[in-house]
Structure 1
Amino acid sequence: MFRTRPLTWLFIIATLCVDLALIVGASSNSGVRVSEGLAFFVYNYGLPAQISVLAIWAVLSRVHRLTKGAWLTLAGGMLLILTWWVIESEYRGELIAFCFMQLSIVLAGCVILKKLGWASELSEPVGDEQNKFQFSLVEIFGWSIVVAFWAFAVRYADFSIFAVRFANFDLLYQELWWIWLMCAVLIPLALVLVFFKPLPPGTRLLRLMVAYLFALLLYGVARLYDRGPLPSWAFAMAITQITYITAWWAVMRMDEVMGERRAVTNASRESLAIYNPKEQESNDETLGEAEA
């Protein structure tokens, strides 16, 4: 797998190294304390971008469904464990709740875009789809383990921040969690339309600029409801998502181009094989004997 997509795997390794560097560097500074309500979520602002990439890959990838569920659980759990070390204890439940909500909404949005034909699958080896709705005993046990891990995470999630009585607009105005959540889920879904939808030539860069303008529009709307630091944090998170997802797509695209070139080169080598005179003489002798 590393030989077929070397740049993608190097991108993943680089992401893990940056995560470890941020976590270790932040945890070593014991004097830093998170004082604002949602400041902890920006403490590692690359976390929403990585969750969005996991959700997009889980929906658009062509690998087996259990493999996608297992990798999504493993990678998401690693991100939560790493950030757990540096987040204040009173905000850890909210962190899990935000991650779970973002992942669920992006997953659902990608599924809808795929069903509508607005998002194409990633160019990966196609798995066995003949038994799509048949589950083996091994797969049933595998899904039970995945569900158990998600149930364990949801148990420690603090969803009280989402418990808002929408009939009371004043209470909704006080609970500004929706500003962060909208930026966290709308930006990756907009990028799915930019990178994973067949586009006319020359329009991809234009649509990417539209995604940046969309993030700026969300920032302006958030400023109307909150004058504190939250809109700036959400805008920084949105720009980080655009940058990270763009880099991820570019790396995968370069691997695809390299794979296509390798296939063309191998085909050319086979068709332009070195001329072997002995083999040609044997073929002529065989042909002469057949004619005689």
Structure 2
Amino acid sequence: MASDATRAVGIDIGGTGIKGAVVDLKDGTLLTDRVKVSTPKGAEPPDVLEAVKEVLSRLEISEDAIPLGVAFPAIVKNGTTLSAANVSDKWIGFEAEKFFEDGLGRDIYFANDADVAGVAEMRYGAARDQNGLVILTTLGTGIGSAVMYRGVLIPNTELGHLQRAKHGKDAEAFAAYSAMEREELSWEQWAERLQWYYDYVQFLFSPDLFIVGGGVSKHADKFLHLLSLKTPIVPATHRNNAGIIGAAALSLGAAPQLADVTVAD
């Protein structure tokens, strides 16, 4: 393995699964197998903490010498979760970073899950060296988003919650991968919903590039070609590992090797 100065642990908490691995920060590759456990039913704070502990135990991480980043599906400001996307409402207004630090007995870096996936793609993937406006979307239990402009991340965008006028449901209820599974849609039927979604985002932001992450990105060949957009759209280089990699990368905060990735205030 690489030295402690060049590796970190990334934990990606999602609505259905909690994943983690040790990451080489030089090139964004996994140094261990990815460990995954199911997100506990109801996803309440104490149960999620125990699941994170299980992931760390299975990774054989017992010391705090290796930096740790945790990605979470919520708006995160100053360590507090301000929303609850596909997890318990008890996370709303919850001092989550302190909760995890107290429970794990160590410092962590804590951020929105789609934002850290965006950082992974900026530093090691499809958004690297892109000078325009890049929007990453994660398609899974919900729809997460990361907006990046000239290497600067604008945190806590919630483009999965764009509203569908007169329909009573937001975008992710209509077009997330979970909607495809729940309603047993074909790839073609789901692509029609994605077409509506990306057309809408394209109209609002005029991006230079769309990146598609989340678990379904490994099947990008089944649906991306069905979309007709003015904006190029590509799968995330790191697919569903982007959250792990980005969380690990941000765990060093303002370390010199992360100077090329800026997070806007």
Task: Name the TM-score, length of structure 2 as normaliser.
Answer: 0.29
Q: Which has the larger radius of gyration?
A: 1
Higher helix share: 1
| Greater RCO, CA 8 A, separation 6+ | 1
Task: Name the TM-score, length of structure 1 as normaliser.
Answer: 0.27
